[in-house]
Chain A
Amino acid sequence: MQPPGEEAPASGEEAQPLLSARDVVQEFTVRDYGGAKGGVVHAVSGVSFDIWPGETLGIVGETGSGKSTLARCVLQAPPPKAGAVLFRGADLTRLRGRSLLRVRRHMQMVFQDPFGSLDPRWRVRDIVEEPLVAYRAGGRAARRRRADEVLELVGLDPGSHGGRRPRELSGGQAQRVAIARAVALEPSLIICDEAVSSLDVLIQAQVLNLFERLRTELGLSYLFIAHDLALVKQVSDRVAVMYLGKLCEVGPGESVYREPRHPYTRALLDAIPGTSGSGRAAAGRPPIKGEPPSPIDPPSGCRFRTRCPRAAERCAAEEPVLRELASGHAVACHFPLEPPATPDARPVRLGSTTTRSV
């Protein structure tokens, strides 16, 4: 294994994925407490995916699906129990200390709560400059310049915002600071864990547009994690659906939405409130019953089978593997849904006659 240098080799960049996860497994041991059962939490159980340069992979999942744990596995914080995480071909799980730090500078993370991830006592400019200090990137003056530059890039005024402290900012502005900090070191991959979920819809749209602009201007790749499928699809080239520590469906965003093949994806789509204003009369199919089982004691075979309308004996006995049913569209299900006969068989969730100018 070649320890990667300061700059990863530029050659062969298109030939290999930027990031690959191979059978990543993460487990935690928890003790019993106050009547709640302890044991081993199977947070991530054998997840594999690739992210190509310039690509955005979205991961959608509900609470407890392991999506945030997966993000942390990628960053080696903490490293996964088993499996490999390859960044430009180098296996991060085998790297330690300085060599890991050198690779990790190319991956940055943006979290859900900007106020929780920014030091309240620091000024905005120092927060953005900190990664540059940590990686000894340039002299003091150069770092200042870079900090101002990225603040401009995310739409903040270095003059008026640079000297403020996080609590003097709105939620959207604080999230911009977190994004500026993430791009300061010119990473090639940004991992967003529910990065816009706590923002109001108008601010959320501004931040989503900012992510898109940075993607095209800086050629970034994203691992974009959220519980909101519509949000994930908006920014992603490919979407992966995660349930109880496993991926159940991966494919181009459009085909996952138009032709979901996994019953869980279908259930997620059905549960999203539409904006057709249909009122309760057309509130859609009945929601799936029950709640996800505990990851301490996941069901045998297919983990969704306990809530699945299509579950049969085979689902309990045999674990379905992720297999490609259409080009680039893979599903882990013994009895996948048939694609709709016509492309428009799926009811459009927009007011039927409205075509708003976009």
Chain B
Amino acid sequence: MSDALLEVSDLRVTFPARGRELRAVDGVSYSVYAGQTLAIVGESGSGKTVSCRALMGLLPPTAAVAGSALLRGSELIGLSDDEMRRHRGTDIAMVFQDPARSLNPTMRVGAQITEAIRAHHNAGRAEAREQAVELLRLVHMPVPRRRFTEYPHQLSGGMRQRVMIAIALACRPRLLIADEATTALDVTTQAQIMELLLELQDELGMALMLISHDLGLAASYADEVIVMYAGRIVEQAPAPRLFARVRMPYTEALFEAIPRLERPAHSPLPVIGGRPPDMADLPAGCSFAPRCRGAMDDCRATAPPLAEHEPGHRWACWHPVNGGTDAAAR
């Protein structure tokens, strides 16, 4: 693959919490390539959202961000607001979970899109308006000219999310981050929005990062999947490979806990006990060890490093599923 569009290395984010240090993101490294769809999957509090907001400079001032994130060679971490603004929109754009809260309820939809266009381009009023209608058409908004003059409350959830995507695309970003962008939507609307995102990705050649708690969504739409737990990456592989040869017991637990249509009704779901660790007081060894069925003494003593054990497949585990080989028939 060609050079990375975005190269994140050893990203760390900490928050002060009652005199202690809450390690929300704890040494995360990955690359995103042009045209690629990368999914970052994890539960609430795994650090998936915080790590992406750090890239956009969208964290509260109390957050301490360290490490590096190179976007086409230029550093994003540590930029001032003004410097960051030059990257936002044009280089990276973001779509959030709740379109109802991300849109201004007192402004017409069209005005919100033209505002985004004019914030970054020296476009005249009429020109920006034409571009905005064009964007609405691009996101397959039905009757774009009429929607242009409507307010967010007049639109359905799916249409609002289309507006959010139109705004995000206003400056043709190279990287679009969709943070739980379809979580609040119905499943048929989710399928429509995901199809739209992939279609736009092909059309505009941008990279797409899907931040989601939904492993199924990642499996269906991403090329590459990263699984996060307690602020760290615990497994990463191309989607088909990850789902066929899961190595990290946490990923496997996530997989097994999903209700699946193939499963007979009333069959007990395999579950693991416990809860994710306190991020201000992480255990010494592997942070998943307290909940892991296969945990041994070495797991509790030393945290396993994330390493590429097989081509393209990284995991952080001393005792991977199937011993880390494909010998055992699954």
Contacts and interface: CB of A to CB of B under 8 A. Distances in A.
Q: Which of A208, A227, A236 has the most CB of B within 10 A?
A: A208
> Chain A interface mostly helix, strand, loop or mixed?
loop
B272 A202 contact: yes
B240 interface: yes
Interface string A135-169: 00000000000000000000000000000000000
Given A62-B188, A205-B257, A278-B219, A254 B151 contact: no
B239 A358 contact: no
Interface residues of A, number: 62
A5 interface: no
Nearest to B270: A358
Nearest to A232: B259
Given A233-B261, A272-B187, A279-B222, A358 B256 contact: yes
Contacts of A34: 151, 153-154
Interface string A52-73: 0000000000110000000000
Contact of A350 (B151, B217, B239, B260): B260
A228 B188 contact: no
Contacts of A35: 150-151, 154
A230 B260 contact: yes
B37 interface: yes
A155 to B, nearest CB: 10
Given A34-B153, A63-B157, A355-B330, A204 B257 contact: yes
Contacts of A205: 257-259, 269-271
A237 B265 contact: yes
Interface string A227-244: 111110111110000000
Interface string B248-283: 000001111111111111111111110100000000
B275 to A, nearest CB: 6
Q: Which of B153, B215, B219 has the most CB of A within 10 A?
A: B219
A19 to B, nearest CB: 19
Interface stretch (A174-182, A263-271, A328-336): A263-271
B64 to A, nearest CB: 26
Given A208-B259, A231-B259, A233-B261, A36 B153 contact: yes
B244 interface: yes
Interface in A167-213: 170-172, 200-202, 204-206, 208-209, 212
Nearest to B224: A279
Contacts of A217: none
Nearest to A36: B154
Q: Which of A234, A257, A284, A286 has the most CB of B within 10 A?
A: A234
B186 interface: yes
Contacts of A268: 187-188
B156 A291 contact: yes
A170 to B, nearest CB: 6
A217 to B, nearest CB: 13
A288 interface: yes
B223 A280 contact: yes
Contacts of A215: 266
B102 interface: no
A273 interface: yes
Interface in A3-46: 34-36
Given A273-B219, A275-B255, A279-B222, A202 B260 contact: no
Nearest to B158: A291
B186 A200 contact: no
B186 A201 contact: no
A348 interface: yes
A271 B190 contact: yes
Interface in A334-349: 348-349
B192 interface: yes
Interface in B178-199: 186-192, 194-195, 198
A289 B261 CA distance: 23
Contacts of B222: 279-280
B258 A277 contact: no
A274 interface: yes
Q: Which of A208, A231, A275, A349 has the most CB of B within 10 A?
A: A275
Nearest to B268: A209
Interface string A281-320: 0011011111100000000000000000000000000000
A354 interface: yes
Nearest to B184: A63
A36 B241 CA distance: 48
B69 to A, nearest CB: 26
A253 interface: yes
Contacts of B238: 279
A268 B189 CA distance: 10
Q: Which of A208, A234, A279, A354 has the most CB of B within 10 A?
A: A279
Contacts of A349: 260-262
B43 interface: yes
A290 B194 CA distance: 14
B150 to A, nearest CB: 7
A238 to B, nearest CB: 9
Nearest to B142: A290
Q: Which of A62, A205, A236 has the most CB of B within 10 A?
A: A205
A99 interface: no
Interface string B206-242: 0000000111110111110000000000000011111
A226 B97 CA distance: 20
23 contacts: A63-B186, A172-B275, A201-B43, A206-B271, A228-B187, A229-B261, A230-B261, A231-B259, A237-B265, A254-B264, A271-B191, A273-B194, A273-B214, A275-B216, A275-B260, A277-B242, A278-B240, A279-B221, A283-B220, A287-B191, A287-B195, A353-B330, A356-B256
Given A200-B43, A206-B273, A272-B187, 17 more contacts: A34-B151, A34-B153, A35-B150, A201-B215, A202-B271, A208-B259, A209-B269, A229-B187, A254-B265, A277-B240, A279-B220, A280-B222, A283-B220, A288-B188, A350-B260, A351-B244, A354-B244
Interface of A: 34-36, 62-63, 170-172, 200-202, 204-206, 208-209, 212, 215, 227-231, 233-237, 253-254, 257, 267-280, 283-284, 286-291, 348-351, 353-356, 358
